[in-house]
Amino acid sequence: DHVVAEFALQAHVIRRDKVNISHNKLVVLLRKGQPFMAWTGSANFSENAFNYQSNSGLVITDVSAVENFEAYFQALLDNPAKAESKKRNQAIMDKINQLPARMAEKTFFSPIKSTDILETSVRLIKSAKSMVLISSPFGLDKKILTALSENDRKIIEYGLVNTSAQKRVASLHHHNSRFFPPKRLKTYRNERWDAKAFGAHKIHMKTIVIDPYGGSPKVLIGSANFSKASCVHNDENAMLIVGDERLAAVISTEFMRMYDHYKSRYYIDRNAKKNAEIRKQNKVLKAQGKPLKKQKSIDMFLKEDSSWNKTSFDKNSFSHKFRDRIVFSGQ
């Protein structure tokens, strides 16, 4: 409201207040009154979204897909009640998801009556042949947790959630599954490191990528968290795009950039906590005149001999690194 007032936008803004959350991040560009291009994804139009969070933005130039978003936008203009929105959105989805030639395997507009986005997420995870990459900022629905837990052990499952959801994914740190919430490092190598961070939500991208390095990758992307609320209560949009190897490569590369960053922080933080405990123990040992325990360190460089390759090349090592190497090579 304050932004609308500050920039005198009252004549250009239509209030959307008949759903739980108006959660779309959507722009439709018209040329000569016709749909020309669209922007969608997870990024709010704010400094925080563009500079301080992980987010996705998807520019759509496929005219038929842009027309779908324009139809959805028009269905929102009169601020319909939630029940009416569900009817309109379902009608739009039923029409566009039956077209023989379409950019997306499936397009989702919420709210609707069913939990379509959530159920599709579960089916995607169960369909994985090699890898699941999931960025779900605010936690995982129980159905998704179950699907991840029940997948074959050979499936690599890597995930990103915010610190507010870390307890919910604690059970997924096993076999080939790894989830790493953001960690703040107050100090690193005895130096001050992180400034006080903005908020608790560094992860904001809502994506599921299935088998990104195979011949038929699947990408679910949009504004919607993979939850019941994103299906039946909020204004949302999402697309399931199948077979677009470039899109899968871009999204999975950005995912792995964030994943590796927070994985490193996880191990640095874990090592620091172990050393803090060792220092406590050493105070007692010193008072007793006993030998002190040596603090643990993290290797900064690769080992020069071949000892490092056992976990990556020996299938009997029972390390996720072996399967990780196979999957990332596209096998």
Which residues form the domain of 6? 2-264
Number of structural domains (the chain) is: 1
pLDDT at residue 144, rounded to an integer = 96
Q: In this predicted structure, which of 118-132, 151-165, 198-212 has the lowest mean pLDDT?
A: 198-212
pLDDT exceeds 90 at position 101: no
**Cα 150 to Cα 119: distance, rounded to the nearest angstrom:** 16
What's the mean pLDDT in 119-125? 98
pLDDT digits (tens, 9 = 90+) for 19-77: 999 999 999 999 999 999 999 999 999 988 998 899 999 999 999 999 999 999 999 99
pLDDT exceeds 90 at position 249: yes
Distances (CA, A) of 179 to 104, 127, 211, 292: 28, 20, 17, 34
What Rg do the C-alpha atoms of the chain give, in angstroms? 23
Q: Which of 143, 197, 203, 154 is nearest to 179 (CA)?
A: 203
Domain-located, residue 119: yes
pLDDT at residue 125, rounded to an integer = 98
pLDDT at residue 48, rounded to an integer = 87
Q: Which of 91, 78, 86 is nearest to 110 (CA)?
A: 86
What's the mean pLDDT in 318-331? 86
Q: Read off the pLDDT band of 331 (50, 70, 90).
A: confident
Give the CA-trace dihedral at 162, 136, 247, 223, to 10 degrees: -110
Domain-located, residue 293: no
pLDDT at residue 151, rounded to an integer = 94
pLDDT at residue 198, rounded to an integer = 61
pLDDT at residue 197, rounded to an integer = 63
Domain-located, residue 23: yes
Q: Tell me if 92 sits within 8 A of 116, measured CB to CB.
A: no
Domain-located, residue 311: no
pLDDT exceeds 90 at position 299: no
Q: Read off the pLDDT band of 330 (50, 70, 90).
A: confident
Domain-located, residue 225: yes
Task: Point out which residues pair with 188 in neighbouring strands.
Answer: 191
- pLDDT over 70, % of the chain: 98
pLDDT exceeds 90 at position 302: no
Domain-located, residue 234: yes
CATH of the domain at 161: 3.30.870.10
pLDDT exceeds 80 at position 195: no
Domain-located, residue 192: yes
Domain-located, residue 305: no
pLDDT at residue 200, rounded to an integer = 62
pLDDT exceeds 90 at position 130: yes
Q: In this predicted structure, which of 93-107, 109-123, 134-148, 311-325 has the lowest mean pLDDT?
A: 311-325
Classify residue 233 as exposed, middle or buried by CB count within 10 Å of its CB (0-12, 13-18, 19+): middle
What's the mean pLDDT in 195-222? 88
Give the mean pLDDT of the chain: 92
pLDDT exceeds 80 at position 201: no
